[in-house]
Amino acid sequence: MSVDHKQVARRYLWSGLGFLLLGGLLALLIRWQWAWPGQPVPGLAWALPESRGALTPPTYTSVFTMHGLVMIFFAVTPLLFGALGHFVLPLAIGARGLAFPRLSTLGFWVYALGGALVLVSFGVRLGPANAGWTAYPPLSTTAFTPGLGQTLVTVAVLCAGVSAFTYGLNFVVTVARCRAPGMTWGRLPLTVWGLFFASVLNVLFVPVLAAATVLLLMDRLLGTQFFIAGAAAVGGGGDPVVYQHLFWLFGHPEVYILILPAWGMVGDMVSFFSRKPAHGYRLTAGAMGVVSALSGLVYAHHLFTSGMSPMLGRTFMVLTLLISLPAEVMFLNWLMTLWRGSVRLTSPMLAALSTVVVFGLGGITGLALGAVATDVPLHGTLWVVGHFHLTMGAASFLGVFAGLYFWFPKMFGRQLHEGLAKAHVVSSAVLFLGVFGGQLAAGYAGQLRRLYDPYQYTYLKHLLPLNQWTTACAFLLGAAQGLFVVNLVWTLWRGRVADANPWQVGTLEWTCAASPPSDENFERIPVVLRGPHALSQPEVLEQLGRDWVGQAEALPAEAPAISGPQPLLERTS
Amino acid sequence: MTSRVLSALLLLVSLAFTGCRSKSAPTFEPLKLADGRVLSAQTLARGHSVYAYYCASCHGEQGDGQGPAGRGMRPVPRSFRQGLFKFGGVSVGELPTDEALKRTLRRGLHGTPMFAWDVPDADLDAVVQYLKTFSPRWKEEVPGKPLEVSADPWRGRDAEAIERGRVAYHVSGAGNAGCSSCHVAYLPRAELAALMKKAFGRDVDLSKVDPYTAQVRESDHPVEVDTKGEPTRTQKVLPPDFLFQPLRTIWAVGDTVEGAPYTPERQREDLYRVIAAGVGGAAMPTWKGAIPEENLWALAYYVQTLVMLRDTDEAEALRARLRGSTMK
């Protein structure tokens, strides 16, 4: 069994895409229920014979629980870190591999074990978990979710956490210790910065999730009372709100864990495809650092309505609103990079720009949830759902596809069809706005989250057409993913063989490694001479006749700063 | 290869770990009911699952009404161990019909967290049968005879029915129910006295009674049970004041109940049903057979007029007038 980081990345890619499909199908079931409540879903009668294919309340609860859980723990995180992170990180810093190759393989198998448990849970009596993806007690205690499914899924989340911790640790050590000569911190591609900060967050906060999960499992299996309501009042024991604190101390940084790698990629791609050095490189990297530092300090805005002290609420409100400032810095830097750039709307660039748009909208709608006064009425409504789906769902998804379209030639040595890829990205981005915009509107109109049949309530009856339109967008969004599947299958089967550097950029994975790279990544370890965004500099144009220069490529007038092996591959396309 | 073996091992270990204390599916023996029906083990197992989803959090895993979500609920969630139901569609104290239990599940009970559950039909039957495992009564007694809804004798003569109902409500004996002795009276003192004089042929002294305040009564439904699920403390109940309290099985006209609009006729029929059958475990007796059938219907007509007034300014004004009324 290979412990090569590229092999591990491919395993994560296929399993992540599989879970993305599963999570997406579950999402469509939720949307079906909101458009046609209680109506049988065509083709689902085999799975739900008692109701002839209609979602019953327990099935519906399971469906939205598993959708959230699968998407976050088994699809988006593994795709961003497991697939893209594992593949790119060592290549981009000029390392032969990850610092602990066996650990990354172990991490994948622990993740696979968790995934298997998730799949098994669909088949057990009483079905899979149905306490919501957050698994709040008392809903997640045996009194309310007595089935084995909830336990299996809780173990699965623990497995996903262990796996996230292992690659987090691995990435941090790799970036800190395994950089190629000359690859100073100031020369790291922004993607690496994003992955690095997110990995630090993984190492710091995933153990908090693991602690909460283990305590919850003890409550379920061993009769402890860490999170049992009222246990504190009758002598010792815990409180369900304690779980919420632990969960969100992980859960809020998780938002940044999911978006920081995407931000990094956006930073790089905006520069690459505007053919300009990234504006304010240091500020962008610094802003990512500030966001990471603040991310754990804002978690309690999830608890404004949970009975937390209003005084604490004020503090957390200020911190939460503060975190938008570094995000602004990044956005402005991206805009400044685009400004007067020679913009090439390739598929990765389109995906990166879509990420910026949907994350921007997600961020703006989040301000209303960060401020106590507006959070109180909006909390628990679909507004929250629309907001976090824009940030964590749409933005992370588009980030994943930006990365995938960008590095696919390097991963598989074949070039995806650009037209299909562009159609996929643009249609996905537009439909994402339709779906989650519809949710924001429904939430602003007062539709509560998680309702099995919202129209039981007179004041929500008029939202049926809106929800049906949103559902139509969701089904179209699902159908649009067919473009990617067709593109992927066709390309892997008989796609065009890719150049070593089809995007004509200077980072190490493109300039110093073959497509796909050999087991050793580089024939010789490159010596890095400059930052990642050396684009459109007059002397480069003059001397090389092209607008880019590799990070490890010496210009004729330039002697390598560090004596050692010379960069291997210098391709002009 | 070793990784595969390792992962398979990990899977097995974790399955064993999760399975060790988690409740496994209980096994069931077929249950023979006193009415001769046999509930298959399969039905009971299905019913157990459905019960675990929808019911156990309030009604308790043991069916004793002591589920974690039910603590502090008033009215208390039903204990299924007594085999005693409020709305059983049979005479008070008898075992309910399956039809009545399903009706409660489908429609829910007003003013309580017993919602109208969207349980699929197959599950509905399974859970109703499963409830029968909680009380030994089902093995010993047959369910009561369903109290059929008779034809409405007052159809088209509403005013007359209401007039008769008013008498049947406020006067005791001679074919009248005397509801106002538990529920409150809805006539000013002078009118009440005149009505009684007309019914009994003599003056009735109302000066020392308070006909406008309902009295708390004992019910048979447990608030607390011991470790075996036997009642240790029972609930007290207040007969509803129709002007101000929602009735558990009566909806407002215009609501949608079981997918169909709730018409005044349906509302009246439901009132008839409660008055005829009584409310099991509470102080409300079975009136069917105790008073003439047309008076049962007349009461339904009269109570409906009160229910229609519920929570209106008119109801408030009526109450003020009743409280302020004297013997003059």
What DSSP string runs through A229-292?
TTTTTTTS---HHHHHHHHHHHHHHHHHHHHHHHHHHHHHHHHHHHTSPPTTHHHHHHHHHHHH
Nearest residue, CB atoms, A143 vs list B3, B15, B57 = B57
Which residue of A lies nearest to B125 if distances are taken between CA atoms?
Answer: A50
Which B residues, 42 through 61, put their C-beta within 8 Å of a C-beta on chain A?
A: 49, 52-54, 56-57, 61
Question: Are A222 and B15 within 8 A, CB to CB?
Answer: no
ipTM of the complex: 0.71
Nearest residue, CB atoms, B53 vs list A51, A58, A159 = A58
Which residue of B lies nearest to A112 if distances are taken between CA atoms?
Answer: B7
Q: Which of B13, B17, B53 to mutate to test the interface with A (most CBs of A within 10 A)?
A: B53
Question: Are A113 and B14 within 8 A, CB to CB?
Answer: yes
Which residue of B lies nearest to A52 if distances are taken between CA atoms?
Answer: B120
The alpha carbon of residue B248 is apart from the nearest alpha carbon of chain A, in Å, by 18
Q: Is B34 in CB contact (< 8 Å) with chain A?
A: no
Q: Is A131 in CB contact (< 8 Å) with chain B?
A: no
Question: Are A58 and B24 within 8 A, CB to CB?
Answer: no
pTM: 0.85
pLDDT (tens place) for every residue of chain B, 328 residues total: 455 555 555 555 555 455 444 455 678 899 999 988 999 999 999 999 899 888 998 998 889 888 888 877 888 899 999 888 999 999 998 999 999 999 999 999 988 889 888 888 888 999 999 999 999 999 999 999 999 899 999 988 999 999 999 999 998 888 889 898 889 999 998 889 888 888 888 888 887 888 888 888 888 888 888 887 788 888 888 899 999 888 999 999 988 888 899 999 999 999 999 999 999 888 899 999 899 999 999 999 999 999 999 989 999 999 888 888 765 4
Q: Are A111 and A166 in contact (CB under 8 A)?
A: no
Question: Are A113 and B19 within 8 A, CB to CB?
Answer: no
CA distances from B234 to A337, B66, B230, B237 (A): 75, 13, 11, 10
Q: Which residues contact A51 (CB under 8 A, 6 or more apart)?
A: A40, A59, B120, B122, B123
Nearest residue, CB atoms, A1 vs list B3, B49, B122 = B3
Q: Are A104 and A9 in contact (CB under 8 A)?
A: no
The alpha carbon of residue A221 is apart from the nearest alpha carbon of chain B, in Å, by 5
A148 contact residues in B (CB cutoff 8 A): 18-19, 22-24
Q: Are A407 and A87 in contact (CB under 8 A)?
A: yes
Report pLDDT digits (tens) over A298-326: 999 999 998 888 888 999 999 999 999 99
Please tell me the distance from the alpha carbon of residue A104 to that of residue A500, in angstroms, as a whole number: 26
Residue A396 burial (CB count, 10 A): 27
A1 contact residues in B (CB cutoff 8 A): 1-4
Q: Is A123 in CB contact (< 8 Å) with chain B?
A: no
DSSP string across A18-63:
HHHHHHHHHHHHHHHHHHSTTPPPTT-TTT-GGGTTPPPHHHHHHH
Please tell me the distance from the alpha carbon of residue A77 to that of residue A128, in angstroms, as a whole number: 21
Q: Are B238 and B216 in contact (CB under 8 A)?
A: yes
Q: Which of B5, B11, B22, B27 to mutate to test the interface with A (most CBs of A within 10 A)?
A: B22
Q: Is B68 in CB contact (< 8 Å) with chain A?
A: yes
A142 contact residues in B (CB cutoff 8 A): 22-23
Question: How does the average pLDDT of chain A come out, rounded?
Answer: 92
Q: How confident is the model at residue A289 (pLDDT cuts 50, 70, 90)?
A: very high
The alpha carbon of residue B108 is apart from the nearest alpha carbon of chain A, in Å, by 13
Q: How confident is the model at residue A508 (pLDDT cuts 50, 70, 90)?
A: very high
pLDDT given for residue B22 in this prediction: 46
pLDDT given for residue B25 in this prediction: 64
Q: How confident is the model at residue A456 (pLDDT cuts 50, 70, 90)?
A: confident
Query: Which residue type occupies A516?
Result: P
Nearest residue, CB atoms, A138 vs list B15, B56, B68 = B68
B123 contact residues in A (CB cutoff 8 A): 50-51, 56
Q: Are B254 and B105 in contact (CB under 8 A)?
A: no
Q: Is A110 in CB contact (< 8 Å) with chain B?
A: yes
Question: Are B52 and A142 within 8 A, CB to CB?
Answer: no
Q: Which of A15, A48, A50, A218 to mutate to test the interface with B (most CBs of B within 10 A)?
A: A50
Please tell me the distance from the alpha carbon of residue A359 to that of residue A388, in angstroms, as a whole number: 9
pLDDT given for residue A511 in this prediction: 94
Provide the 3-class DSSP secondary structure of residue A129. coil
| Cβ-based contacts under 8 A for chains A and B | 83
Q: Is B19 in CB contact (< 8 Å) with chain A?
A: yes
pLDDT given for residue B14 in this prediction: 53
Q: Which residues contact A439 (CB under 8 A, 6 or more apart)?
A: A382, A383, A385, A386, A389, A470
Is residue A519 pLDDT above 80, yes or no? Answer: yes
Q: Is B127 in CB contact (< 8 Å) with chain A?
A: no
Nearest residue, CB atoms, B3 vs list A54, A109, A143 = A109
B11 contact residues in A (CB cutoff 8 A): 113, 116-117
Report pLDDT digits (tens) over A70-102: 999 999 999 999 999 999 999 999 999 999 999
Question: Are B18 and A221 within 8 A, CB to CB?
Answer: yes
Q: Cα torsion at A75, A78, A79, A81 (round to 10°)?
A: 150
Q: Are A449 and A384 in contact (CB under 8 A)?
A: yes
